[in-house]
């Protein structure tokens, strides 16, 4: 049996570049166009952190799991995200629309 060494976290991690519940905007930074076009330019909520290689990545370089209302969730590199404007409307944990604080 092969054991998966990945670490998936659903709570804040000291030293991580984002916090759970933080509003982020998905931006194009890669030249290969790896971001799903349906997510590009959208604002979502951070819902998890994935460390494929925890010994190397933890805590500063996770893949960030982001939930976008109406589109679902996907994983993004930290460089593909930027803080959302203060007035951004994103899905809260309960699913209602409003600013995440």
Distance (Å, rounded) from C-alpha 12 to C-alpha 39?
23
CA distances from 16 to 11, 46, 49, 94 (A): 11, 12, 9, 24
Q: Where are the beta strands (DSSP E) in the chain?
A: 7-9, 23-26, 43-51, 63-68, 72-77, 81-83, 90-91, 97-98
- Phi first, then psi, for residue 54 (nearest 5°) are -55, -35
pLDDT at 58 over 80: yes
Position 29 scores a pLDDT of 72
Position 76 scores a pLDDT of 93
Could you tell me which residue, 1 or 57, shows the higher pLDDT? 57
Percentage above 90 pLDDT, the chain: 66
Distance (Å, rounded) from C-alpha 23 to C-alpha 90?
7
């Amino acid at each position: 049996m092969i054991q998966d060494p990945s670490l998936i976290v659903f709570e804040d991690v000291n030293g991580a570049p984002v916090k759970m519940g933080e509003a982020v905007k998905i931006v194009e930074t890669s030249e290969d166009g790896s971001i799903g076009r349906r997510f590009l330019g959208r604002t979502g909520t951070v819902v998890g952190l994935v460390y494929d290689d925890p010994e190397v990545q933890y805590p500063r370089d996770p893949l960030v799991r982001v939930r976008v209302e109406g589109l679902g969730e996907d994983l993004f590199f930290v460089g593909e995200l930027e803080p959302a404007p203060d007035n951004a409307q994103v899905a809260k944990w309960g699913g209602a629309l409003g600013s995440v604080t």
